[in-house]
Amino acid sequence: MKKIAVLGSTGSVGRQTLDVIAEHKADFQIIALSANSNADLLLKQADEFQASFVFLNDSRFLPKIKQSVKFLTDQDSFLNQIRQEGADLLVLALSGTSAIKPLFYALEHGIDLAVANKEAIISCGNIINKMLSRSSSGLIPLDSEHNALYQLLGGLDRKDIAKIFLTCSGGPFLKYSKGDLEDISVEQALSHPKWEMGEKITIDSATLMNKGFEIIEAHYLFNMPLESIEVLIHPQAVIHGIVELKDGTSLAEIAPADMKMPISYALGYPKRLDCGLRVNWRGIKSLNLEYADKDKIEALKICCKAAEKGGSFPAFLVKADEIFVRAFLSRKIKFNQIVDLLGLALGGHNGFEVESVGDVERAFGDAEAISGNILKEVS
């Protein structure tokens, strides 16, 4: 029986993780759960899965925590308790840059990871790869595309690989003109045609920044050069990743567009769990794949530029995007301004090498200062 800790258990990925575990209770034991502020749902989850202890990040909601469940008041104590309880797998479903500290902790202490957070990998990619080379931890990505590539690449010799392809549904505004994007409302942008996700990643998917971030993530996760990573627009969202081999053969991972698929793979690994999902081949009339030009799609272009520059630029971009998406959700800027302002902010950053968490925090601070000044000018 695997001992599991789920960080971010009240979010979209966290809830779906618990749904999968509920279907395979004999295989898993939940030892720890954490949330940012949703104390009511956290308590309900802790009771249902008999979690040993919980952690709530926002202390304002601590009075809601009942004494019937053990809770810890600081993250360091929470992470230490997870290690002492002998966790086999840490599911990292936290949003934004808050995942960096627990990710590093798991790598330092040999705890396996299932990671649904791309911001930490993008911001600290080189540091994480160095830590992985020394750690006994395994890391399985939960993004559907990277999980697909992880599965495909696992049985291949790297010298045989020519390219990898990330697929992209295109989001709700695939056929919109640039002029049409100016009047997109928050509600429209939060309505994704294929995936159920949190607000931040849904907006990133609509702007295509999410796909740009996934290019950077794949670059670090699989140690692939940027020129060997391509994107294909695939509205049906059935093909999640493709690996092209040097002999001309291409291998694809095909699965239902449901996060329970990659979650099940990561939880069960190396065993495969049956989560009851199957591709509805009778309902598929066509499978469309269209090449996405990284030099012409602005969001992809910005992300590739940041990755090429390396150092602090990816971390800067992640934090700046977080700030501008928050500004859009607060209706302070328009939808079409998100990517434009990101390009402007990135141009104002003087990069530096990233060798520690302190360097990452410095990049975040620069992003906050530059993005904040830009918002003052456009608001």
277-287 per-position pLDDT tens digit: 999 999 999 99
Q: Which two tokens stand for residue 220?
A: 């670090």
How large is the average pLDDT for residues 175-198? 76
How confident is the model at residue 192, as a pLDDT? 62
> How far is Cα 12 from Cα 203, in angstroms, rounded to an integer?
15
Q: Are 273 and 24 in contact (CB under 8 A)?
A: yes
Average confidence (pLDDT) over 232-251:
96
Which CATH architecture group holds 2-141?
Answer: 3-Layer(aba) Sandwich (3.40)
Contact 232, 165 (CB under 8 A): yes
CA distance 207 to 338: 8
For residue 61, is pLDDT > 70?
no
pLDDT the model gives residue 94: 92
pLDDT band per the 50, 70, 90 thresholds, residue 220: very high
Place 369 in a pLDDT band, splitting at 50, 70 and 90.
very high
Looking at the chain, the whole-number percentage of residues with pLDDT higher than 70 is 96
Please indicate whether residue 195 or residue 162 has the higher confidence score (pLDDT): 162
Whether cis (ω within 30° of 0) applies to the bond prior to 141 is: no
Q: What average pLDDT does the segment 6-18 reach?
A: 96
pLDDT tier for residue 302 given thresholds of 50, 70 and 90: very high
Question: What is the largest distance, in Å, between two alpha-carbon atoms of the chain?
Answer: 62
Other residues' Cβ atoms within 10 Å of the Cβ of residue 287: 12
At 303, is the pLDDT very low, low, confident or very high (cuts 50, 70, 90)?
very high
Does residue 181 or residue 145 have the better pLDDT?
145
CB 187 within 8 Å of CB 95: no
Q: Specify the higher pLDDT residue, 197 or 205.
A: 205
pTM: 0.92
Given its phi and psi angles, is residue 45 left (phi above 0), alpha (psi -120 to 50 degrees) or beta? alpha
Structure-token match 């390396």, residue found: 310
The Cβ of residue 187 has, within 10 Å, a number of other Cβ atoms equal to 7
Structure confidence at residue 72 as a pLDDT band (50, 70, 90):
confident
Using the predicted structure, report yes or no on whether residue 195 has a pLDDT greater than 60.
no
Query: Per mean pLDDT, which of 58-67, 176-185, 228-237 is the most reliable?
Result: 228-237
pLDDT at 68 over 70: no
For the record, the structure tokens of 286 come out as 């066509």
| pLDDT tens, position by position, 99-143 | 999 999 999 999 999 999 988 999 999 999 999 999 999 999 999
Among 53-67, 77-91, 107-121, the least confident range? 53-67
Q: Which of 34-38, 64-68, 224-228, 292-296 has the lowest mean pLDDT?
A: 64-68
State how beta strands 139-141 and 161-168 pair. unpaired
Q: What percent of the chain has pLDDT over 90?
A: 81
Average pLDDT over residues 344-369: 96
What's the whole-number average pLDDT of the chain? 93
Q: Is the pLDDT of residue 66 over 80?
A: no
> What does the domain layout of the chain look like in residue ranges?
2-141, 143-170+208-299
